[in-house]
Amino acid sequence: MSQNPDKSRNFFAAVAVAAPSRAGLPAELGAILASVGVQDAQARILADGAPWQACEYVFAVREGELESVLGGLKALSGVDFALLPAEGRRKRLLISDMDSTIIGQECLDELADFAGLKAEVSAITERAMRGELDFEGALTTRVGMLKGLEMAALEAAYGERITLNPGAKTLTATMKAHGAHSVLVSGGFTFFTSRVATAAGFDADRGNTLIDDGARLTGAVGRPILGREAKLTALDETAAALGLARTDALALGDGANDLDMICAAGLGIAYYAKPIVAEQATAAIQYTDLTAALFFQGYAAREFVAG
């Protein structure tokens, strides 16, 4: 053992998750790391085909060498991967977007379908999530288009259209079993966030409020509007209440209004996200499901808790 350890080297974990048929994934990842100069990496199989192929390598690396390692990982096709500090990977706070992240739909778009306006509303949603439109303006415009929609449409939209994305329950249940707190934060609406939070196993939820007159939507949104800054505030307020730091949080989302919390969290994950989000997140899920967020934290499949 060296009497003068190189303190400029830190331990990082490279994690890869891919389809169950990708049996050679550990060898692929090992070869890529070796090709960029990584030595003495400790390998661990996280899942061997059920539900995915997943593995990790932990190794010491200098800060200046990380870019070459990351460049090597990007050569993996059809693989979700993360490169992050090995220490403190298991997060104690999960804060997640709802639409197109925990659920497979955009609630407002589904509501618009009941008003015969899905195409028009969806087009605005897509532009807002890409960061091309101001979120608050896009939200009030879309809600205004739903003025007069009967309240029964909300229950119908939830019951008939809304489904949890694969891995959502396992993600929350596994993190909760290991002491984490989970919050669903959405630029969508509390009618949906409250129901989805219960279905997916979140501890709390925050969202916007649709104003109604008892029978129909008025076309107005309750103030203040929860958007990009408010999602970051939710992260900070929840962390403070739990005695945690931003580095203890995992933030998950797909749209531009999720960027602030994703960039602030210790582990920010883009889920089937718009390019503007995927480019700035710590990691991205593009090929597998929400359980990849557990593998990134170093959980093995045998540790998963079914929700």
Q: Is 248 a catalytic residue?
A: no
Give the closest residue to 176 by CA, choosing from 295, 283, 282, 294: 294
Q: Kindly provide the residue ranges of all beta strands, DSSP E only, lying in 132-244, ordered along the sequence.
A: 181-189, 204-208, 210-212, 217-221
Q: What does DSSP say about strands 181-189 and 93-96: parallel, antiparallel, or unpaired?
A: parallel
Q: What does DSSP say about strands 217-221 and 249-253: parallel, antiparallel, or unpaired?
A: unpaired
Q: Is 213 a catalytic residue?
A: no
SS3 248: helix
Task: Annotate 166-190 with DSSP letters as a single string.
Answer: TTHHHHHHHHHHTT-EEEEEEEEEH
Give the closest residue to 43 by CA, choosing from 55, 32, 61: 55
Tokens of 75: 């050569």
Cα separations (Å) of 59 from 62, 226, 252, 296? 10, 41, 26, 15
What does DSSP assign to residue 210?
E
SS3 259: helix
Catalytic residue (choose from 48, 80, 97, 205): 97
Give the closest residue to 53 by CA, choosing from 278, 268, 291: 291
Q: Which sign does the torsion angle of CA 286, 289, 295, 301 carry? A: negative
Catalytic residue (choose from 6, 40, 48, 99): 99
The residues assigned a catalytic role are 97, 99
